[in-house]
Amino acid sequence: MRSDPVPGPPLAERLRARGMRLTPQRQQVLAAVAALEHATPETIAGRLRDQAGPDGAAPDTSTVYRTLELLERLGLVWHTHLGKGAPVYHAAGQRHLHVACATCGAVTSVDPTLLDGAAERLAADLGFTVDVGHVALSGTCRDCRERAGTETP
C-alpha cells in the first residue's frame, strides 16, 4: 500500500530553492527511504546496491550518509534512534511513535498522540518541546515477555 513515494513539495523544488542540484543518487536514496519503513543507512545503501545489480553503479555509502542528512534538512525524511546502534530513517509525513522491543528488536509504530499528555506536561513544567518523531520507547513486547515467563516458571 505504499503509493506516495514523495509527499508534498517534491525533492526537485526544495533543492532548487536552495541552489542545490537534483541528482539520481538523491532520488534513489529518497525512494529507498520511502520504500523501506525503518531503514538504517546501511540497509538503504545495501538495497540500492541490490537494485543496481552486479553491473550498474549504486551510490557510495558516504553519499548515502550525506544524502540522508541533506534530505532531513530539507524536511523530506526523519530519523529515530531505536536503542543502540544505527538510526533508522523514514519518509516525512508518516510521523509516528516508535516502540522497540529491547529483546527481539521488533519495532512497532503507534499513534503519536499517545504521548500528548506527557508532552503537554513537559511543555508546561519545563518549556520543553518533545519531538515525537524522534522518540523511541523501549521495553518488552508481548511475545518476549511470554517467552521469558516460559523459561523460568
Instruction: By CB under 8 A, name the binding residues for a second copy.
Output: 81, 83-84, 87, 99, 101-102, 108, 110, 114-115, 117-118, 121-122, 125-131, 134-135, 137-142, 145
97 neighbors 137 (Cβ within 8 angstroms): yes
Q: Does 136 bind DNA (CB under 7 A)?
A: no
Q: Nearer to a second copy by C-beta: 52 or 104?
A: 104
- Cα separation of 65 and 86, whole Å? 12
Neighbours of 24 (CB within 10 A): 9
- Cα separation of 135 and 107, whole Å? 12
33 neighbors 44 (Cβ within 8 angstroms): yes
Q: Nearer to DNA by C-beta: 73 or 95?
A: 73
Considering only residues 6 to 25 of the shown chain, the ones binding DNA according to CB under 7 A are 12, 15-16, 19-25
Q: Which among 10, 30, 13, 7 has a CA at the least distance from the CA of 95?
A: 7
Residue 129 site contact among DNA, a second copy, none (CB < 5 to 8 Å, cut-off depends on kind) = a second copy
Residue 26 site contact among a second copy, DNA, none (CB < 5 to 8 Å, cut-off depends on kind) = DNA
Among 86, 104, 106, 148, interactor with DNA by CB under 7 A: 86
Considering only residues 60 to 79 of the shown chain, the ones binding DNA according to CB under 7 A are 60-63, 65-67, 69
| Amino acid, res. 29 | V
